[in-house]
Amino acid sequence: MQVLGLGYGWRDGHPFLRVRYLHDHAVHTLVMEGAVRLQVTAERRCTGYYDGTVSHTCPDGARLRTGVACEPCQLRDAFRPCMRCDGSRCPRLSPAMRRYCQQDHHLYLACFGDDTIKVGTASHPRRRQRIVEQGPLAAARVACGEGPAIKRMERMLSQGVFTETMRRSRKTALLAGSMSPEEAKLRVLDAAATLRDVLPDSYHDYLHPPQVVEPPALAAASRSLQVQPVQLHDDVVIAGQVVGAVGHVVFVEDDDGVFAFDLGELKARVIELSPQGGKKPVVQLGLF
């Protein structure tokens, strides 16, 4: 059975891979728990587009060399304008996306294990899930308000000592860092204490005392595992028992040891579920 990887997320303390079945285009979530077995093929396909309410398959069934969506689907996607918006001048949006934009959003600060503090936003329904998906060592929500105002706060803060972006590769490398969760939490709280000094007075009413977001138990336990991601070469088979996960990284154990792979790399890849053959990952991970 072949599926197309659409993205990943977290639900009820476990990561999941969202996929579209190629035979009927139905969308399902594959929870990464217990035994898993899948094979990553060489084929890449467009993941389609989101109209503000429903996720659609690519009308052209486009094959890709790089990226996750063909250019026509990028132009069709209702969420794309919001990704480029800083809240100062909202683009023309569909009614569904305007409702999304204007609902309450949350501003959060996150530490992944170094001196950098990431600032980000999350919609109210995903106020915890969005942070868990990022996989920080420590994080806290620090402000709440209408989407455009929170976006403007994010942009202002990112032009100072904070950053809006943290590459998955950097997050992965920091999983093996020496910083403790307690130190990371102190760094987040110290950063939160500076916000009134760096934001204009007109934004102070959006701020609130830091609401620390505790990581899922599975993620906390994973910090004792050494991180060295498997390169998802064509035809590689991922098989074993899920023993941990942090953000986008899933740890799987088999008879040879523990290895890790990046769920984000499965987006736009055609995946064979329950394959019979294929190549095993060549990078094995030991425990500390």
Mean pLDDT, consecutive 10-residue stretches, the chain (288 aa), reads 95 95 93 92 95 92 96 91 74 81 95 96 96 96 96 94 90 86 97 97 98 93 67 78 93 83 93 75 42
Specify the pLDDT at position 282: 46
Give the number of other Cβ atoms within 10 Å of residue 6's Cβ. 20
Tokens of 155: 């942009």
Tokens of 4: 């197309």
pTM of this structure:
0.89
**What pairing do the DSSP bridges indicate for beta strands 14-21 and 55-56?**
unpaired
Specify the pLDDT at position 284: 43
Cβ 260 vs Cβ 284: under 8 Å: no
Cα 15 from Cα 222, distance rounded (Å): 13
Specify the pLDDT at position 280: 60
Cα 47 from Cα 27, distance rounded (Å): 11
Encode 38-51: b = buried (16+ Cβ within 10 Å), e = exposed. Answer: bbbeeebbbbbbbe
Q: In Å, what is the CA distance from 284 to each residue of 33, 133, 191, 231?
A: 20, 24, 37, 11
Specify the pLDDT at position 228: 55
Give kind and range of the element (H or E) at residue 142: strand 138-146
